[in-house]
Amino acid sequence: MNAETMSEAPLLSVRGLTKRYGGRIGCAEVDLDLWPGEVLGIVGESGSGKSTLLACLAGHLEADGGTARYDGRDVLTLPEPERRRLARTDWAFVHQHARDGLRMNVSAGGNVGERLMAGGARHYGDIRATAEDWLARVEIDPARIDDRPSQFSGGMQQRLQIARGLVTGPRLVLMDEPTGGLDVSVQARLLDLLRGLVRRMGLAAIVVTHDIGVVRLLADRLMVMKDGRVVEAGLTDRVLDDPQHGYTQLLVSSVLPT
């Protein structure tokens, strides 16, 4: 990120975000700022509150308190139609399990094309051409445009989910364990692809993961969570190479269960 980018206002500004499950804390008093074109990694062991935080931002869960300002509006209190419009146009969500982000009984081309149609595209030829282009961009043979995701491998399904999310040119992508559950070699390829797309498209992204390797490759900045709270934050290299908090030190040395 250069000095010019830093001087812009944050794209997303979160203050005091809190979510409880009955008496249990999901996440508490989380503050974060995300600048345009920046990738923020959120790491922590299982149960640290990463997914809860992301789900509140995405509107999948209702937060109990706090604000999340995007384009001058608090997305935590957006009326449902506006929230849906945002999710269709400006934001994308990449689920850990591709089947949660895809329509499994619709063709690959349909999965990508229906996002375009939801954004107002109407011309069949253009939609199909764009879908083919996006399949190629995520390294799926465009000849498979009429196949269903259920005929794809796990890695291909995840790449299709990414194409579906990015085809509308969002400004912000929320990713929950995007490489989770995939073989190591498949993960590496997916990470390379994601890194290339994020950089080329200048996307801002929040990546939740328990995998330090993922954030080392993708994230400009890191936030470390424990028991629902942020315990350390900073530039990725600084946090990983010179962790200040004892918990981060354990996490980086992979002593903690993930």
Ligand X SMILES: Nc1ncnc2c1ncn2[C@@H]1O[C@H](COP(=O)(O)OP(=O)(O)OP(=O)(O)O)[C@@H](O)[C@H]1O
Please give the residue ranges that form the binding site for ligand X (CB under 6 A).
Answer: 21, 24, 26, 44, 46-52, 210, 228
Closer to ligand X by Cβ: residue 47 or 142: 47
Residue 111 or residue 179: which is nearer to ligand X going by CB? 179
Minimum CB–partner distance for residue 176 and ligand X (Å): 8
CB 33 within 8 A of CB 13: yes
What is the nearest approach in angstroms of ligand X to the Cβ of residue 186?
20
- Closer to ligand X at the Cβ: 56 or 166? 56
219-223 long-range contacts (CB < 8 A, ≥24 apart) are 219/39, 219/40, 219/41, 220/1, 220/38, 220/39, 220/40, 221/38, 221/39, 221/40, 221/41, 222/40, 222/41, 222/42, 222/43, 223/32, 223/40, 223/41, 223/42, 223/43
Between 32 and 131, name the residue whose CB sits nearer to ligand X: 32
What the block records as the tokens of 201 is 């498209």
Taking the complex as a whole, the smallest distance from the CB of residue 21 to ligand X amounts, in Å, to: 3
CB of 208 to ligand X, least distance (A): 7
